[in-house]
Amino acid sequence: MDANSRKARAETQAGRPKAIAELRELARAQAPDAIKELARLAIKAKSETARVAAIRELLDRGYGKVQQMVENEDDLSNKTAEELRTEVLADIANMFPDLRLVPAKPRNSLAESKVRRISWIAPQDACDVD
């Protein structure tokens, strides 16, 4: 990246927060009129779809969007980690039938892996240590 493009990028980034703040200020200045128009549409729009959309927008802005509840059919608190792992792997296998899952060998402790690595480098029968 040359010096000119770095300078242009820095100027652009430096100007963004100011431009965004100005844009927000302009939009917020129009908010009262926009809310009045939504209220008018909620009552007088000919299309039921437009009325419902306007009502939804008014309610979302007044009370916040409705939180969507997700019901969990399984009680996970009674399951072991291995049971959960088995279920997740089964779900993945169902979603991706062409995927072949190969179980990984569980890792031993760090000390055991170092011993294994050292014995691979120098097998016990090659050492003079009893």
Give the distance from CA 50 to its chain's centroid: 32
Angle at 28 between CA 23 and CA 32, to 5 degrees: 150
The model's confidence at residue 115, banded by pLDDT at 50, 70 and 90, is: low
Tell me how many domains the chain contains. Answer: 2
3-class DSSP assignment, residue 53: helix
Query: Is 44 a residue whose pLDDT tops 60?
Result: yes
pLDDT, mean over the chain:
75
What's the CA gap between 95 and 97, in Å, rounded?
A: 6
Q: State mean pLDDT over 43-59.
A: 92
Statement to judge: residues 15 and 58 lie in one domain: yes
Range of the domain at 43: 9-63
Q: Measure Cα distances from 57 to 3, 43, 45, 47, 124 in Å.
A: 47, 13, 14, 16, 75
Share of the chain above pLDDT 70, in %: 58
- φ/ψ of 87, rounded to 5, equals -65, -45
Rounded Cα distance between 126 and 130, Å, is 11
Whether 55 and 83 map to the same domain: the answer is no
55 and 26 assigned to the same domain: yes
Q: What pTM value is reported for the model?
A: 0.40
Residue 46 lies in a domain: yes
* pLDDT of 35 higher than 80: yes
More confident residue, 87 or 41: 41
Q: Are residues 14 and 59 in the same domain?
A: yes
**Is 118 within the bounds of a domain?**
yes
Burial degree of 32 (CB within 10 A; 0-12, 13-18, 19+): exposed
In a domain, 70, yes or no: no
Q: How confident is the model at residue 92 (pLDDT cuts 50, 70, 90)?
A: confident
**Model confidence at 87, in pLDDT bands (50, 70, 90)?**
confident
Q: What is the mean pLDDT of residues 26-40?
A: 92
Please list the helix, strand and coil fractions of the chain in percent, rounded to the nearest 5, in that order: 70, 0, 30
